[in-house]
Amino acid sequence: MGVVSDRETLSNLAQTILQQRWAPFDRIAVVQSFRARGDLARIARIDEEVEAATFGETQREGSRRNGSSFLATHAKLGNATAVLLRDAVRGGDALGHIAVMQGALWCSMDLDERMAQLASGYIAVSGAMSAAVRLGVVGALQAQAVMNDCLPLIDQLSAAPVPDDTRLSSFVPFLDIAAAHQAQANLRLFAN
């Protein structure tokens, strides 16, 4: 992949994340948990698949922590499904990975499946843009421009059908290696 140092290389990274991580992995988890329609046993199985397929403890912990925060926020807003999911995670009946919790909760909020995918894709790129700005790779306006450039790709990838038996798949070794290195650093820049 190389060093991310400007708008162009950040755009390439964002597109790679969308194509090689989000579309075949996070998007699938969102769709499958959305289709579970609140069936906690199915949601827990999807959560376990995400756990098993996620490289590195740092990334697994971060995904679970983000999922817990997502649920806590929606529980405070009074969403009954968020309360049930939060309690399931606290009780050890589910792991609470963010993509799984997003799909399950967004279904309960009457988003349609396509909108859930679009929201998930937007959030995936938004996180990368936020990190790039915090690290000083680009400014906020450049990050917004990259975000805007990614919207058609998110739309295109979201349009692809997701058969019920689709398996999670991810191939972003440079990010997995970077996360593993960062986890061993004396000073951590990011929680996950």
CATH ID of 7-181, from 1.10.3470, 1.20.120, 1.10.4190, 3.90.930:
1.10.4190
Domain boundaries, the chain: 7-181
Task: Please compute the mean of the pLDDT values over residues 84-89 and round it to a whole number.
Answer: 98
pLDDT for 177 beyond 70: no
Of 162, 166, 152, the closest CA to residue 118 belongs to 152
pLDDT for 187 beyond 50: no
Q: What is the pLDDT of residues 24-82, one digit of tens each?
A: 999 999 999 999 999 999 999 999 999 999 988 888 999 999 999 999 999 999 999 99
> Does the reported pTM lie above 0.85?
yes
Task: Give the whole-angstrom CA distance, residue 117 versus residue 34.
Answer: 10
Task: Please compute the mean of the pLDDT values over residues 150-154 and round it to a whole number.
Answer: 98
**Would you place residue 5 in the very low, low, confident or very high pLDDT band (cuts 50, 70, 90)?**
confident
Residue with tokens 């009946």: 93
**Would you place residue 170 in the very low, low, confident or very high pLDDT band (cuts 50, 70, 90)?**
confident
pLDDT for 178 beyond 80: no
Q: What is the pLDDT of residues 11-28, one digit of tens each?
A: 999 999 999 999 999 999
